[in-house]
Amino acid sequence: MQRPSVVILAAGKGKRMYSTLPKVLHPIAGEPMLAHVIRTARALNPERLVVVYGHGGDQVRARITDSDILWVEQTEQLGTGHALKMALPALPDEGTTLVLYGDVPLTRPETLHDLLSAAGDSMAVLTDIVANPAGYGRIVRDQDGSPVAIVEDKDCNPAQREINEINTGILALPNRCLAGWLGRLGNQNAQGEYYLTDVLGMAHGDGLKVGSAVVPHSYEAAGVNNKVQLAELERIYQGNRALALMQAGVTLLDPARIDIRGELQHGMDVTIDVNCVFEGQVTLGDNVRIGSHCVLKNVTVAAGTQIAPFSVLEDAVVGADCKIGPYARLRPGAELADQVHIGNFVEVKKSHIGLGSKVNHLTYIGDASIGSKVNVGAGCVTVNYNGVDKFRTVVEDNVFVGSGTLMVAPVTLEQGATVGAGSVITKTAPAGELTVARARQVTIPGWQRPKKKS
């Protein structure tokens, strides 16, 4: 198939979103609707990719930075026909142009392929059969079933109003006819707009064969005008993602309670409990189990690791057969080797933790390098920050850090060192020795607690 050009109409204001954010930047799965439409367009390997913008143009262009997009400004929204006319100078003279919408985010590339096939070197319209066609342009067909016109809802006569096949707005159009057709558009209609839909009647009048394709799912043609519709499409999108995961072998305890905002790669026998959120690039190895209410963003988790509920992991790498959480927090730069245990209320940032080491309770590990087979007791802190600079803590293999220890960086705990509970370690703890750095316990004999005067 020839490479089509794609024009995405995205100039509308989106009044009913009640937001300062331009409508097409409102997110589905954490990504602007317009970015979804652009991804779909790219799947068609377009010859040119044009976006017609208007309201909030600066915001849109700041957010969508693809360098090959041809941006066309429509300063006044005089109708869909006028919008495409603005894009005309950016289009080639030959070939086909596909018209998409920045607020219709869930169209599948396969459906657009079907539409392009139906168009051939003429035009085609993507339609939907709906129970309630109110508000949409109706597809009028002749006795042979060929589309001959699209009539906007506000311009319908009573018979046309009964038609339940509607215009999705998505069209495939022959470039060679565009200048002529768009030049002939008028705005003598109920809304005083230049309707792009009028080109269908012109094509028919010019004796061109007009093709059509029906969307397999209504959501593919669904547009977003308010937050209710945005939420509806979000659920449909997430439902489709969940379905695809299950079809690929992932166990989801409830497919209605998972959110994926990015790419989720997985091995075999992965299990995900309810209410987890995956963002960015997440990779889960074989037999990984994710407990309920976890958030994973840009994380790699190797095979056999279990993440218990309410854990939050971001920009982290987790080895195989680890146990994380519940209530663990791995912040950017956390790198765990295999068989590491990170327990409840433990925070790890910009630190490497070696094979089989355990940090199980109420501890902060930041800017540290922890060796293998290290045990960090409850309530320990790497004191890494003096208010200006950050310093590193090095804990070598087989170190045992007693509970309540502060490691004041820069500092090293050498191989096999033991640190007594409650220590404030400011100097090297030598290898193989017990180091205790705390005030000695004293008892004052006969000391009297002050008494209240009655």
In this complex, which beta carbon is closest to ligand UD1, that of residue 78 or of residue 277?
Answer: 78
Is 437 a binding residue for ligand UD1 by CB under 6 A? The answer is no
State in angstroms the smallest separation of the CB of 183 from ligand UD1.
17
Is 167 a binding residue for ligand UD1 by CB under 6 A? The answer is yes
Strand, helix or coil at 12? coil
Is 195 a binding residue for ligand UD1 by CB under 6 A? The answer is yes
Neighbours of 101 (CB within 10 A): 24
In this complex, which beta carbon is closest to ligand UD1, that of residue 152 or of residue 314?
Answer: 152
State in angstroms the smallest separation of the CB of 94 from ligand UD1.
24
Backbone angles phi, psi at 138, to 5 degrees: -95, 145
In this complex, which beta carbon is closest to ligand UD1, that of residue 101 or of residue 181?
Answer: 101
Residues 41, 44, 103, 297: which binds ligand UD1 (CB under 6 A)?
103
Whether 36 sits among the annotated catalytic residues: the reply is: no
Whether 57 and 72 have beta carbons less than 8 Å apart is answered as no
Copy the structure tokens of residue 260.
């994926």
C-alpha angle 321-324-329 in degrees, rounded to nearest 5: 140
Please choose, out of 160-168, 252-260, 314-322, 351-359, the segment that lies near ligand UD1 by the rule CB under 6 A.
160-168
Exposed, middle or buried, 138 (CB in 10 Å: 0-12/13-18/19+)? buried
Give the rounded distance of the alpha carbon of 176 from its chain centre.
38
Whether 426 and 410 have beta carbons less than 8 Å apart is answered as no
Binding track, positions 80-99, relative to ligand UD1; x by CB under 6 A: x-xx----------------
Of the candidates 113, 217, 352, 361, the residue annotated as catalytic is 361
Site for ligand UD1 in 61-80 (CB under 6 A): 74, 77-80
Is 223 a binding residue for ligand UD1 by CB under 6 A? The answer is yes
The set of residues, in sequence order, having a beta carbon less than 8 Å from that of 88 and lying 6+ positions away, is 178, 179, 182
The Cα–Cα gap between 174 and 4 comes to 10
Binding track, positions 124-153, relative to ligand UD1; x by CB under 6 A: ------------xx------------x-x-
Please choose, out of 165-173, 212-220, 318-326, 364-372, the segment that lies near ligand UD1 by the rule CB under 6 A.
165-173
Strand runs labelled E in 108-224: 123-129, 138-141, 147-151, 165-174, 210-214
Please choose, out of 4-12, 156-164, 286-294, 360-368, the segment that lies near ligand UD1 by the rule CB under 6 A.
4-12
The Cα–Cα gap between 258 and 80 comes to 37
Residues that bind ligand UD1 (CB under 6 A): 9-12, 52, 74, 77-80, 82-83, 101-103, 136-137, 150, 152, 166-169, 195-197, 223
**What residues act catalytically?**
361
